[in-house]
Amino acid sequence: MATISAVIASTHHPFYLRASTSAGDERPPFADEWVAKITAFRETLTRANPDVLVMVGSDHFHQIWLDNMPQFLVGKAPFYDANYYNEEREFGLPRMFLRGHEELSEYLLRHGLDAGFDLAFSNELRIDHSITCPIITLRPEADLPIVPVYTNIFAPPMPQPSRFVELGKAIRQMVEEWPSEQRVAIIGTGHLSLELGGPRQFGPHGPDPEFDRKAVSWIASSDIKSALAEVSLDSLWQPGNATHGFMDFLLMMGVAGENVQADYVDSLDLFHTMEAYFTWYPNGADAA
């Protein structure tokens, strides 16, 4: 059976690459601290020594639009193009070409359907910064095959938060039962409080620091019960209009397991958002 070598959750700030590679007057004052935190976070994946990455993210209305929005989608292509032109223009993200892992994609689709999740799939998926940003921060070599899993966090009607937790639990079980000797890291990225295009977008410490404080605590201890007691589809509008991305963190808490303390926790308060990083080692980081 396959081994889950790491479960990793993080935000996916698209300006990290530009901030970390800029110099002189163009280098922001927080860049050095950000780079140091990402360097330490990257080591958590390196230590896990994975063979394949299951990547949970969400399409930012690049390929999937309001007229055709699957709730959960698995990519099953042999290769994936990334990023999109606006991400190159606005964020300085590079064009990328990533290998897929068709065998694991097909396994997750078949067994996910059998487990009661009506998963969509795409053989022509092009991925955006919700998946490429964690590759840039965690595995800049981009040398490992990936299985993209996209969730709907943007277009109502959305699944209930509890459904994200349930899918996370199912993904973990399916990967653990996959008849393979490969080591799998499951990586998911979401949002804390976040405002996109609204009046709170460039606030001094994110739209809702109190929500961020509670969210980091919930994620770090995988306190699913407390999170679900306070979070609903309606309540997630209040910390910011894009805070439904927290449901991808709920999914990763489902992967990690209820009330399992993360082995690595860090965060960074940027000028308009809170960045956060978490790693669990289900098998004690037994690097091969």
**Lookup result for tokens 């990334």:** 82
Mode of pairing for the β-strands spanning 183-189 and 120-122: unpaired
Asked whether 167 and 115 are in contact (CB, 8 A), the reply is: no
* DSSP SS3 for 105: helix
CA distance 27 to 78: 37
Domain ranges of the chain: 3-280
pLDDT in tens, 3-50: 999 999 999 999 899 999 999 989 999 999 999 999 999 999 999 999
Q: Which one-letter DSSP state was computed for residue 224?
A: H
pLDDT in tens, 241-282: 889 999 999 999 999 999 999 999 999 998 778 999 999 999
**pLDDT (0 to 100) of residue 200:** 66
**What is the 3-state composition of the chain as percent helix, strand, coil, each rounded to the nearest 5?**
40, 20, 40
Taking the whole predicted model, whether its pTM rises above 0.85 is answered as yes
pLDDT in tens, 167-177: 999 999 999 99
Mean pLDDT throughout 52-67? Answer: 91
| 258 contact partners, CB below 8 Å, separation of at least 6 | 222, 224, 225
Least reliable range by pLDDT among 135-139, 178-182, 213-217, 273-277? 273-277
Asked whether 27 and 19 are in contact (CB, 8 A), the reply is: yes
Q: Which one-letter DSSP state was computed for residue 243?
A: G
CB atoms inside a 10 Å sphere around CB 13: 20
CATH code matching the domain that covers 3-280, chosen among 3.40.50.1000, 1.10.10.410, 3.40.50.2300, 3.40.830.10: 3.40.830.10
Asked whether 216 and 192 are in contact (CB, 8 A), the reply is: yes
pLDDT band at 287 (very low <50, low <70, confident <90, very high): very low
Q: Which one-letter DSSP state was computed for residue 200?
A: T
Q: Residue 205: pLDDT above 70?
A: no
CA distance 95 to 251: 28
pLDDT in tens, 79-103: 999 997 888 888 889 999 999 999 9
Least reliable range by pLDDT among 79-93, 138-152, 197-211, 261-275? 197-211
Mode of pairing for the β-strands spanning 3-10 and 274-280: antiparallel
CA distance 205 to 201: 10
CA 165, chain centre distance (Å): 14
**pLDDT (0 to 100) of residue 288:** 45
**pLDDT (0 to 100) of residue 67:** 86
